[in-house]
Structure 1
Amino acid sequence: MSMSAPPSPRTRHYGAFYGLDEPAGDGPVTLVTGNCQAESLRIMLDGAGLRTVRSPAVHELTATDLPHLDRWLARTALLVTQPIRDNYRGLPLGTAQLAARLGPGARTVRVPVIRFAGLYPAHAIIRPPADPGLVPPVVEYHDLRLLAEAAGLPRRPRLDPATVRAIAAHSLDQLRMREAAHRTVVVSDLFAAPSFAQMRTLNHPGNTIFTALAARVRAAAGVPGHPVDPGRPLLDAIHAPREAAVAEAWGLDEPERPHWIVGGRVVETGAVREAHLSWYAAHADVVRAGLVRHADALRLLGLG
């Protein structure tokens, strides 16, 4: 008699999604979809009337996952989703496509992809057109000062409190535009008084942001509030360096931290610099894409 293979670590990790250990009963659930921020938001939403299901991030889903996803969409009473374009990565995972597969009476609440550059003003994310998933080694964030150096731009970077505030304002303008364009829950106002507790990197919010976002999602869905203490820092795997000009710009009484922290381990910026410049030399298309995509930030940094 043949025996089926044991479930993979990924299948076990998302056991409920794959039907290994489903939530009690067969009643309605809340599904949270999006990038790496979605799982942290799900944790902060769970309980007090919302039964959530841990599911893979949207960029991790494959064609073989679609039957499992559709099974949960049929049971979903509340879909909480970031804006996702139709046919994302060649699969029917767009926000509108997911909403169309919900059962009668289900509600959808959209949340923005949270990116705020006011605490890490020289950092950026670049999606090269030829390979949007291509990322540099060591840390997956680009430093625009290194990008400019790789491009041979002759100007010296400028990072002072005025520049930090200007980049923050530009970043918030972009966030507000995304909120308005996609009719999402609003979070941009949370950054009126920035602090390092709010963001661990350019796009990894801290617990304070997720707490506020979860409360606003519940309010938008008409569900009573339910504060959640996850008992640990969320999205805590990587912390970007903290620069003195940023602390000065926002009046933060926190020392400069010149290194990265990755998986609890200190990674010196010199090691990142060496690895990234070498990588840029082999990926000139990424440098070109970054110069175009982040022209405004480069200009504000005195590099454009």
Structure 2
Amino acid sequence: MDPGRRRHYGDFYDGVDGPLALVHGNCQAESLRVLLAGSPTFAPRPVRIPPVHELTADDLPHLHALLPRTTVLLSQPVRDGYRDLPLGTAELTARLAPGARVLRWPVVRYAGLHPWTVIVRHRSDMAVVPPVVPYHDLRTLTAAAGLPPAAAPTAAAFRAAADLTVAELAQRERGTDVGVSDLLRGLGVDAAHTLNHPGNPVLIALARRVQAALGLPADAEEPGRALLGGIRAPLDPSVLAALGLDAPPREHWIVDGVPVDDAEVRAAQLDWYRTHPQWVAAGLERHAERIVLLGGA
């Protein structure tokens, strides 16, 4: 095992004493754990564990050792047999001791600020992402498919796209215990850095709603750093104007603090699609409604 990974997740691999809490899910799970760990009233202590997409078969004994002492499991909806491993929310719940609390919270995705940005998976390899940034652009996908460029979307189209992404999240929240879809439009550019990396105000609100749902004081606070700000997508002036947001536009991406030209991203991904056409077909099918909404993208 990589020594750095073992140090980073020391309690997960070495074990901890007493009752504990686990936050299970994608990269948002660690952000939620950080906020809860910073609360003076949250108990039991939330243990840092790898995100679900990084867990391996070798990690299962360590996870199984923690579950019987987990009195609070906070989990995004994870399907049974995720990546051919027993990492589903229900599968973990079955290993908890009687009386343990289980609270489900949603995978937060908001594309209102970045309407052309999407995530595309293909069954041949669910982990593959395009180069430069791990996101696809509908305009690049349609260009790769040989479709003609679309006319610029209207302000109404941008607003409808924002409403669609909020409605999609609200639909997913119906199977969970807390949600944040009602907050997104009101938080402006602070709502999200990228499609699946919400800003601190969203994460803090989520943490407080989790605390309240558990009957605890809702006292999660600003941690003093952007929890999921490693990648920041461009902010189109037409989108900002359509949503009534008085914020400076940004033409480039920011990746680990370094500006990256959007044209560079699109050129690299267009080249990648030439050898990965199945992701083009999957993206056009999965996001057909958004493509039509944005005028063909």
**1:74-120 Cα shifts (integer Å, max 9, x gaps):** 11111000000001001100010011111111011100000011110
How far off its partner does 1:72 sit?
A: 1.3
When residues 292 and 19 of structure 1 are mapped into structure 2, their CA distance, relative to the original with a 3 A threshold, is same
1:122 aligns with 2:116: yes
Name the structure 1 match of 2:21: 30
Deviation larger for 191-200 or 278-287: 191-200
Alpha-carbon contact 1:118-1:194 (below 8 Å) kept = no
Return the alpha-carbon distance in structure 2 between the equivalents of residues 206 and 186 of structure 1. 15
**1:165-195 Cα shifts (integer Å, max 9, x gaps):** 1111111121111111x23312110123241
Return the alpha-carbon distance in structure 2 between the equivalents of residues 117 and 102 of structure 1. 35
Deviation larger for 289-298 or 168-177: 168-177
Aligned length: 294
How far off its partner does 1:267 sit?
A: 0.3
Name the structure 1 match of 2:294: 301
Return the alpha-carbon distance in structure 1 between the equivalents of residues 153 and 231 of structure 2. 23
Which of 164, 189, 204 is matched with 1:196 structurally?
189
Alpha-carbon contact 1:145-1:157 (below 8 Å) kept = no
**1:52-91 Cα shifts (integer Å, max 9, x gaps):** 1011000000011111111111111110000000010011
Gaps of 5+ in 2: none
Return the alpha-carbon distance in structure 2 between the equivalents of residues 126 and 27 of structure 1. 41
How far off its partner does 1:8 sit?
A: 1.1
Alpha-carbon contact 2:187-2:201 (below 8 Å) kept = no
Deviation larger for 216-225 or 88-97: 216-225
Name the structure 2 match of 1:256: 249
SS in structure 1 of the partner of residue 87 of structure 2:
coil
Gaps of 5+ in 1: 1-5
Name the structure 2 match of 1:108: 102
Return the alpha-carbon distance in structure 2 between the equivalents of residues 49 and 272 of structure 1. 42
TM-score by length of 2: 0.95
Letter of the structure 1 residue corresponding to residue 49 of structure 2: S
How far off its partner does 1:128 sit?
A: 1.0
Letter of the structure 2 residue corresponding to residue 40 of structure 1: S
1:177 aligns with 2:171: yes
When residues 162 and 253 of structure 1 are mapped into structure 2, their CA distance, relative to the original with a 3 A threshold, is same
Deviation larger for 67-76 or 257-266: 67-76
How far off its partner does 1:228 sit?
A: 2.5
Name the structure 2 match of 1:78: 72
The share of aligned pairs that are identical, in percent, is: 52
Which of 269, 272, 280 is matched with 1:276 structurally?
269
1:8 aligns with 2:10: no
Alpha-carbon contact 1:126-1:286 (below 8 Å) kept = yes
Which of 10, 14, 17 is matched with 1:19 structurally?
14
Name the structure 2 match of 1:3: none
